[in-house]
Structure 1
Amino acid sequence: IGGHGDAVKEDRENFFAASPRLPVAASSSVFSALESIHQPMMALEKLIGSTGVGVGSNNWVISGKRTTTGKPILANDPHLGVQIPSIWYEVALHCAPRSAECPYNVAGFSFAGMIGIIVGHSDRIAWGVTNVGADVMDLYIEKINPKNPNQYEVNGKWVDMKLVKETIQVAGSQPIVQTVRYTRHGPILSDVSPNLQQLQPSQPLDLPQNYAVALQWTALAPSKLGYAIPQINRAQNWQEFRNAAKNYDVPAQNLVYADIDGNIGYQMPGKFPIRAKGDGRYPVPGWTDEYEWQGYIDFEELPKSFNPTEGFIASANNLVSREYPYLITADWVYGYRAKQIVEMISQQTQPISLKNVQQIQGDNHNLNAETLVPLLQAIAVDTPRLQAAQKLLQNWNLQLEMTSPTAALFEVFWKHLLADTFHDQLPKRYFPDGGDRWYSVVANLLKQPNSSWWDNRNTPKVENRDQILRESLTKAVDELERIQGKDPKNWNWGKLHTVTFRHSTLGKSGVPLIEALFNRGVFATAGNGETVNANRWMANKSFEVNEIPSLRMIVDLGNLDNSLAIHTPGQSGHAFHRHYQDMVNYWRQVEYHPMLWQTTNVAANTTETLKLMP
C-alpha cells in the first residue's frame, strides 16, 4: 500500500550496505535512535501484550477460470503464537428452520465467546483473513502543569485530565485501586512504565521539564467488530460482504472473498488514521494540534479488488499496492511468502485443483537459499567435511522438509552467518532474528563482498564475505556433528525445528508435573517463518517454533462438501480428552479433514450429539 514500505526498506538496506566502518560516535547515534523506538515498544508490550510484529498469515483466492472445478477456490492460514488449547474452535451454525429472525447457515472457525464465524463459508460465500499490520498506535508527549499533575497543555491552555479509578481484584489480598489518567489522546502509559519516563528522542525535540507519554490507539476507541462478524455471516453477495466489512475496524485485516456465482474479491477494512504531520513512528508533541489525527481513511478509498484479470488474489501481510496515496504502515513484510504463493499459482499451466492448493499451503521452498546456496557452492573449501556439505547443497531442492539433512545444514548455517556478520557490531537486543528483513539485508550485503559489515571486529584481521561464509558453514557442520552425529545422512531439520504446545497458564507454572499434564510436545516441524508453511523460529533465540499456521482452510465453491480444514493441537480444551491433541500430526504433515456441509453428510458422520435445552 503506497511507497512508504519501499522507502523504509531502502533506508534500512542502505544503512547495512554502508561500506566504510562507522565511527564509534556515529554508531552510538544510530543505536540511540533505535533505542528511542525500541524502549517504548517494549513498554507497550509489557503493558498490553504483543503488538503483533512478526505475526502474519496467508490467504488467496483463485477464480474458476483457473480451477479444475470451474468455480473459485479460497485458502487461508492465519499465523499466530503457539498455544494450547487451540485459539480456534471449528463450528457450524445452521438455523433450523432458516428465517429472517434466524438467517445463519455458515461453517468455519471462531473464538470461544465470539458471535459467529470469523473465517469460513456460508451456502453462498467464503472469506479468509490476514493481518494488515497497520500503524494505528501513536505516542504523544504531553506537557504537564508543574503545579497540578492532573492537568496538561492543549494549545497554550491547561486542561484537566480525565481520571478513572480501576479496581484490580487480587486473590487472597485486598483489591488494588489505581487511578488511570487520560488526556485527549488516551491513557498515560509513562505512569506505569519506567521506559517511557526517560525518553531519548531520535529527532530534535525540546522535551518539557514536566512531561508524560500518552497512547492514542484505534483499539482503545469503541469498535464495531462485534457487528461485522454476524453481518459477514449473513452476507449473500459481494456488495453485502463489503457493507459488512465496513464495520471490521479493529484489527485491520486483508479480506479475500469468493462466491458460488464465480466472483472473487479483496477488501482491506480498518480504521487508519490520517495524521496532520508525521507518520506515527516516533513520540511527538501532544501540546499542539500539529500532529493530531484528522480522522480516518474513508472506507470507499481503502484498497479493494473484484474479479481481477489475473484470475487470482493473494495476500501475505505484504505491500499490496504501490500507488496508494495514504500511509497504512511503513513496516510491511518483505513479501517472500506472497512471492512464492503468486509464483506457484501463476506458473500453473493446467487448471488448479484442490490438491494443488494443498501443496501451496504446505510449501517449504526457501527463497533465502536461492540467494545463498550458489555462493556457498562457489567458495573454496579444503576439507572433506566442508566438501561433503557443499555436495549436500548441490542436489538440494531448497525445501525445508522435516527429514531433510540439507535443510538442517542451511538453517544452522543461516543462524551462524547472522551471528558472525552482525553480533560484533550490534547491541544484543538488536541481534538478527533471521526473518524477512534480514533476508533483504543480507541479500544486499552479498553484492558487496568487501563491506565492513563482513569484518569481525573481534579479530585483528579484516574478513570479507567469502571468509565469513566459509566460517559460518564450518560452524554449522561442527554444530550438527556435535548434536546429530558425524554422518550427514543423520542430520534432520525436524529434530531441531520443533514445536511444543504450552498451556497459556498451567503449562507455564514452573511445576514439572503440572506442565507435563497440560503441555504437549515435542513435535518435529518443517519450514520456517518465511516459507508458505510458516513455522517461525528465531535465530537470536533457538530453533524452537514460536509462531505457526494456527489453522488451514481450503473452500471449494463448486462443492462445499469438498472443502478441507485443520487446526491444532485439537478441538477440545480438556487436557484428558481424546481430542486435546489429536490434530497435531495431521497439521504438521499438512493433512486435512473434510469440512462437511450438507446435512445428510454431517448426519452420516456424527458420532456424538449434545443438546442445549432452554
Structure 2
Amino acid sequence: MKYFSFFLVLAITIALAMLVSRPIGQIPPLAPLLDPNHGFWQNTLSEDQLAEEEINIENLSAPVEVVFDKNLIPHIFAQNELDLYRAQGYVTAQHRLWQMEFQTMAAAGRVSEIVGPIALELDRMTRRKGLAFGAEVGLKYIEENDPETLRLVEAYTDGVNQYISKLSDARLPVEYKILNYRPEPWSAYKSLLLLKYMSDMLVGDRDLEYSNLRKILGDSKLNKLFPDFPTENDPVIESEKVWDFTPIPVNKPDSVTYPDDALLLDPLSQPVEGTGSNNWAVAGKKTQNGNPILANDPHLSLNLPSLWFSMQLSTPTYTVKGATLPGALGVISGFNQDIAWGVTNATKDARDWYKITFQDESRKTYKFGDEWIATDFRIEAIKVKGQDTFIDTVVYTHHGPVVYDKSFRSERQDVNFALKWTVHMGSNEQRTFIQMNKAKDYADYNAALDFYASPAQNFVFASKSGDIGMRIQGKFPLKWEGQGKFFMDGADPKMEWQGFIPNAHNPATLNPERGFVSSANQHPVDRSYPYYVFDNSYEHYRNRHLNRKLREMNQITVEDMKMLQFDDYNLQAAEGLPVLIKLLGTHITESPDAEKYLNELKSWDYFADPNQKGQTLYAIWSAETFESIWREFMNGPPVARPNSYQTVELLNKSPKDSIFDVKSQEGIQTAEYHVKAGFDSMLVAMKKWEAEEGDYTWANFKKTTIQHLVPNFKSFSASNVYTGGGSGMLNATGSRHGASWRMVVELGPEIQAFGVYPGGQSGNPGSRFYANFIPIWANGEYLNFNLRSIENQEDVLFKTILK
C-alpha cells in the first residue's frame, strides 16, 4: 500500500510539474512565472534597489555619466552625440523596453504574435493601412539622404540592443513573463515605425462618411450642417496675419464626378471629439518678469506605462530636457538653454480615399486615365500565437494600399478603396527633433521644422532672446477647394494631388502684436489664407476660451500658466445649457427629482471640478439630446454626425429647422422635442445611477482611468482617478483621455521649468516609480524640471557610469 501511495504522489507531482512548465492555450507556463529567482517576484524591486555604479557597454568613445534624480528622471552627460544617443537607447530600454517593443509591434500589425487570434483583424487593418510600409520607405529615404541622422539612430539602436543582450530572466519585464515571449533586437526601422504609429494615433478622415452624406443630403444641406469655417473662428494663426507670399496656383476641374457607390463600410477609428492638445507662448510684455513663458499639454489616451519618458540629454555644447518618446531619439516637447518648444495636433486632412478600377480579377493592373498601370503585391504574413500564420495580400497602387477589397470588409466584390497618405512618402521627422534639441534661436527652430512631414503639428516656440512663434508644419497636399472631402475616382487624373504646399507657405507667425501665440486643435487660419484648408475634427471651444483668457491676462506668471492648463471651464455648457433650459420650457415630468436636477443645473457655474454635480447632469442631458437629434440621421450607411458646436448653433438659431423633424413620428418635430426627450432620458439615467452608484459628482461619474497598454491587465492600471476636466475644456481630461504631459517654461536668464505626466518613470508595475506622478498630475501640481548640471548633488537617487 505504501508503494501505491508513493507512486500516486509521484505521478501527481510529475503531472503538476508538466502542467506548470507548459503553456495552456493563452496561459503562460506557471513555473517560470512563480520562480522566486526569475519570476514575477523579481519585478517587485524598484530601480534604486537594483542600481549599478558602473555598467560596461561597447562602442562608447568616452564614459557617460547618468544621474537619476529622486523621481527616477535620468540626466545623461556625454562627450558627443553618438555617445549621447547610444546611452539614451540603453537607459530608455532599462526602464521602458516592453512598452517600446509592444507599441512598435502594434504599429507593424504584429499583436497576434503575442495575444493570439483576438488581434488578427486589428493586425490586418494596421498592415493594410501601410504603417510598416511607411516606415520602410522612411528608412530608405534617410539611408539615401541623411547618413548622419542614420548614424545617430543606429547608435540609439545599439544602446537598446546592448541592454537586451544583458537582460537576464530575473530582470525581464513582467509583461514578457505573463505573455510568455522575449524581446527581439531593436532596429532603426523600429524607431521610425514608432513615429508612423503616432501619425496613425493623431490623424482622422471622414471621406467615406461625407460621401454618404452628400448622397443623402445634397450639397446645400451638407454645407449648412458642416461648414468649412464656424461662425466664431479664432484660428491658430491670428486673423490679422498678412500672408507675404505668392501662392502656387491650383487648377480646379471644370466638372467633378464622384463615384456613386454605396459605402457600407466600417470607417477607420477617429479622434474623439473634444479631446486634444494645447500649447501657447506669451511675450515678455505680458508677463510679470518680462520673460516669455511657454506652455504645452498634449492630450492623448491615458495609458500605463506612460507614453512619455522624461529625460535630460547633455553634451559639452548643449543641454535639453523634457518629454521623450520611448524608442525615438531626443526630446519631443521640451527646452534647452536658449529655447522651448511644444506640439499639438494640427488636425489637417492628409489622407484621401480613391476608388480603384482593376482590369480583371487578377488585380495586376488598374485604370488611370487612358492607361492600365501595373500594381504591386505585398504579402503580409501575420503570425498568430497558437495558430497557423495568416497570409494576407495587399495590393499597392500609386495612390497607396488598397485597404478595403473583396477579401477585407467589403460587402461588394467590385469595390476597392485605396488610401493615399503622406505617411507612405519618405520623410525624416527624426532629424527635426535632433536639430530642435540643440536649436538656439528662431532660425534654428525653422530649419529643424523643414524636415518634418507627419503627423502635422502646431509647433509653438519661445526663446530667451524674447521671440515667440507658432508654425503649422506638415507635408500638406496642394488641393483645389473641396478636394479630399469626398471619396474620389482613382481612375480620373483630375483627382490627383497637384503637388505640395512649400514649407515657406505653411501658416506661421512670429511675435504677433497681441503678445501671444496659441493652438488648441482649432482651424489653423481664417479665410484669407490662400490655400484650401479642411479637416473634419477641428476644435471649437478650448481655443476660444484659451484665447479670451490670454487676451485678458497681463503680468502673467508661471503659476498663472499652470492654472490655465488645469482650467476646467466648460464653454460648451456655458453656451449650450441656457439654450437647453430655454427650449425645455415648462416641460412637465412625473419624476420627483426633475426639479432638483434642474435647480442644480441652473446654479452651476460651468466649471467641471471633480466635486461638481452640474457637469454630470449637463453631460448626460446634452449627449442624450444630441443623440435624439441625429439618431435617424445615423440609421443607415456610415455618416459623420455634426459636431456639438454646430448642433448647439442649430438649437439656438434655427429651432424649427426641418433637420429636427423625426420622419418616423407623426406631426412635425422641432428642437423642443429633442431637448425634452433628452431631459427625460437624463432622468432615467440618473435614477439608475443613483440606485447603483449613489454619488454623481463629476469625478465619480466619469471615472478617469489610466489603463495599461494591455487592457486585460487591470491590476497594472489606475482606476477612478479623482480629477476634473473633460471634453472641450483646456483640462480635457475625460474617462480615457487627458493631458499626457504638462510643461511650463519661463525663459529668463535662469530658466524655470515645470512638468508632470500621469504615470511614472518606470515601466515596471512593481516599482514605486511606476505611477507615483498620478496624484500630482490629478491635482494640477508639477515637478521642478530645471536643467541639472553634472556638479549638482541635490536630490540624487543614484548615479551610473556607462563605460
Aligned AA for 2:288? T
Partner of 2:312: 92
Tell me the residue number matched to 1:20: none
Matches within 5 A, 1:505-524: 505=710, 507-508=711-712, 515-524=713-722
CA contact (8 A) 1:55 1:547 kept: yes
Give 1 or 2 for the bigger CA radius of gyration.
2
Query: How many angstroms does 1:413 deviate by?
Result: 1.5
Q: Does the aligned pair in 2 maintain the 1:481–1:487 contact within 8 Å?
A: no
CA distance in 2, matches of 1:334, 1:51: 11
**Measured at CA, do residues 390 and 10 of structure 1 come closer, stay the same or move farther in structure 2, by a change above 3 Å?**
farther
Gaps of 5+ in 2: 1-213, 228-257
1:26 corresponds in structure 2 to: none
Q: Indicate the SS of the match to 1:256.
A: strand
| CA distance in structure 2 between the partners assigned to 1:153 and 1:33 by the alignment | 14
| Corresponding position: 1:106 with 2:317 | no
Contact 1:377/1:393 (CA < 8 Å) preserved in 2?
no
Map residues 298-337 of structure 1 onto 2, 5 A cutoff: 298-322=502-526, 323-337=528-542
Q: Which amino acid in structure 2 is aligned with residue 39 of structure 1? A: L
Tell me the percent identity: 26
Q: Which digits, 9 at most, give the CA deviation of each residue in 1:464-514, with x for residues without a partner?
A: 4445434433443443344236999x5411111112222222x33xxxxxx
Between Structure 1 and Structure 2, how many residues are aligned? 551
Structure 1 or 2: more strand by fraction? 1
Q: Which residue of 2 aligns with 1:361?
A: 565
Equivalent position of 1:168 in the other structure: 382
Deviation at 1:197, TM superposition (A): 6.4
- Is 1:236 the counterpart of 2:440? The answer is yes
Instruction: Report the equivalent of 1:445.
Output: 651
- C-alpha contact 1:497 1:524 (8 A) present in aligned 2: no
Aligned-pair CA distance for 1:259: 0.3
Shift of residue 563, structure 1, vs aligned partner: 1.5
Could you list the per-position Cα deviations for residues 537-570 of structure 1 after superposition, in whole angstroms to 9, with x for gaps in the alignment?
xxxxxxxx23211111111112665311111122
TM-score by length of 2: 0.63
Q: Structure 1: which 5+ residue stretches go unaligned?
A: 1-7, 18-31, 200-209, 509-514, 537-544
What does residue 472 of structure 1 align with? 678
TM-aligned CA deviation for residue 387 of structure 1? 3.3
Give every structure 1 segment of 4 or more consecutive aligned residues whose post-TM-superposition deviation is greater than 6 Å.
Answer: 32-35, 51-54, 428-433, 485-488
Q: Cα–Cα, structure 1 residues 469 and 216, in superposed 2: closer, same or farther, change >3 Å?
A: closer
C-alpha contact (below 8 Å) 1:275/1:291 kept by paired residues: no
Q: How does 1:255-266 map to 2 (within 5 A)?
A: 255-266=459-470
**Which residue does 1:79 correspond to in 2?**
299
Of Structure 1 and Structure 2, the greater helix share is in 2
Secondary structure of 1:342's aligned partner: helix
Deviation of 1:241 after TM superposition, in Å, equals 0.6
Partner letter of residue 523 of structure 1? V
2:281 alignment partner, one of 61, 69, 83: 61
Question: Which residue does the alignment assign to 2:616?
Answer: 408
| CA deviation vs aligned residue, 1:71-92 (integer Å, no higher than 9, x gap) | 1111111111222111111111
Contact 1:277 1:290 in 2 (8 A): no
Counterpart in the other structure of 1:224: 428
Question: Counterpart of 1:351 in structure 2: which amino acid?
Answer: Q
1:285 and 2:489 matched: yes
Residue identity opposite 1:41 in structure 2: P
CA, structure 1 residues 575+286, in 2 after alignment: closer, same or farther (shift >3 Å)? Answer: same
Partner residue in 1 for 2:456: 252
Task: Supply the distance in 2 between the matched residues of 1:59 and 1:156 (Cα, whole angstroms).
Answer: 49
Contact 2:273 2:727 in 1 (8 A): no
Deviations 1:243-293 (A, max 9, x none): 100011111111010001111011111111114785112332223422222
Number of the residue aligned with 2:136: none
Distance 1:34 1:317 in 2: 33
For 1:557-576, what aligned pairs fall within 5 Å after superposition? 557-558=747-748, 562-576=752-766
Moved more, 287-296 or 240-249: 287-296
SS of 1:442's equivalent in the other structure is: helix
- The corresponding residue for 2:339 is 125
Native 8 Å contact 1:528 1:534 kept in 2 = yes
Tell me, what secondary structure is at the counterpart of 2:546? Answer: helix
| Counterpart check, 1:426 vs 2:624 | no
User: Residues of 1 paired with 2:625 and 2:415: CA distance?
Assistant: 43
Per mean C-alpha deviation after superposition, the further-off stretch among 288-297 and 51-60 is 51-60
SS class of match (2:340): strand
Are 1:14 and 2:218 an aligned pair? Answer: no
How many angstroms apart in 2 are the aligned matches of 1:476 and 1:402?
20
Measure how far apart 1:40 and its partner are. 6.6
Q: CA deviation at 1:531?
A: 0.7
For 2:576 and 2:373, the matched residues in 1 are separated by 58
Q: Is the 8 A contact 2:522 2:538 kept in 1?
A: yes
Q: CA deviation at 1:152?
A: 2.0
Superposition deviation, residue 442 in structure 1: 2.6
Q: 1:346 aligns with which of 534, 537, 551?
A: 551
Change (3 A) 1:374 1:180: closer
> How far is 1:407 from its partner?
1.6
1:483 partner letter: W
Q: Please say if residues 53 and 133 of structure 1, whose CA atoms lie closer than 8 Å, have aligned partners that are also in contact.
A: no
Match for residue 23 of structure 1? none
- Is 1:532 the counterpart of 2:752 in the alignment? no
Following the alignment from structure 1 to structure 2, what is the Cα–Cα distance between the partners of residues 231 and 36? 48
Call closer, same or farther: CA 1:561–1:458 in 2, change over 3 Å.
same
Question: Given that residues 752 and 785 in structure 2 are in contact (C-alpha distance below 8 angstroms), is that contact kept between their aligned partners in structure 1?
Answer: yes
Render the CA deviation track for 1:34-81: whole Å, top value 9, x for unaligned: 996783733xx5xxxx67876521111100110112111111111112
Q: Distance in 1 between matches of 2:456 and 2:412?
A: 31
**SS class of match (1:571):** coil
Give, as a single letter, the amino acid of the residue that structure 1 aligns with 2:643. Answer: R
Instruction: Please give the per-residue CA displacement for 1:346-379, whole angstroms capped at 9, x wherever unaligned.
Output: 112x411111111211111111222233345552
Cα distance in 2 for residues equivalent to 1:184 and 1:487: 55
- Which residue in 1 is equivalent to 2:110? none
Say which SS state the counterpart of residue 607 (structure 1) adopts: strand
Mapped to 1, the partners of 2:581 and 2:396 lie a distance apart of: 60
Counterpart of 1:141 (choices 347, 355, 358) is 355
**Residues 279, 473 of structure 1: CA spacing in aligned structure 2 closer, same or farther, 3 A cutoff?**
same
Q: More deviation in 492-501 or 297-306?
A: 492-501
> Which segment is superposed worse, 570-579 or 274-283?
274-283
For the structure 1 residues 428 and 67, does the alpha-carbon distance in structure 2 shift closer, same or farther, using more than 3 Å as the test? farther
Name the SS for the 1:143 alignment partner. coil
- Find the aligned partners of 1:518 and 1:438 in 2 and give their Cα distance: 35
Q: Which amino acid is the alignment partner of residue 314 of structure 2?
A: H
The TM-score, its normalising length taken from structure 1, stands at 0.81
Instruction: Give the one of 585, 591, 603 matched to 2:781.
Output: 591
2:737 to 547, 561, 569: 547
Quickly say closer, same or farther: Cα 1:332–1:412, change in 2 above 3 A: closer
The one-letter code of the counterpart of 1:245 is L
CA 1:122 to 1:569, structure 2 compared with 1: closer, same or farther past 3 Å? same
| Higher mean C-alpha deviation, range 407-416 or range 171-180 | 171-180
Please name the residue that 1:22 is paired with.
Answer: none
Report if the CA contact (8 A) 1:424-1:456 is conserved: yes
Contact 1:65 1:311 in 2 (8 A): yes
Instruction: Measure, in 2, the Cα distance between the counterparts of 1:459 and 1:278.
Output: 35
Q: Secondary structure at the match of 1:274?
A: coil
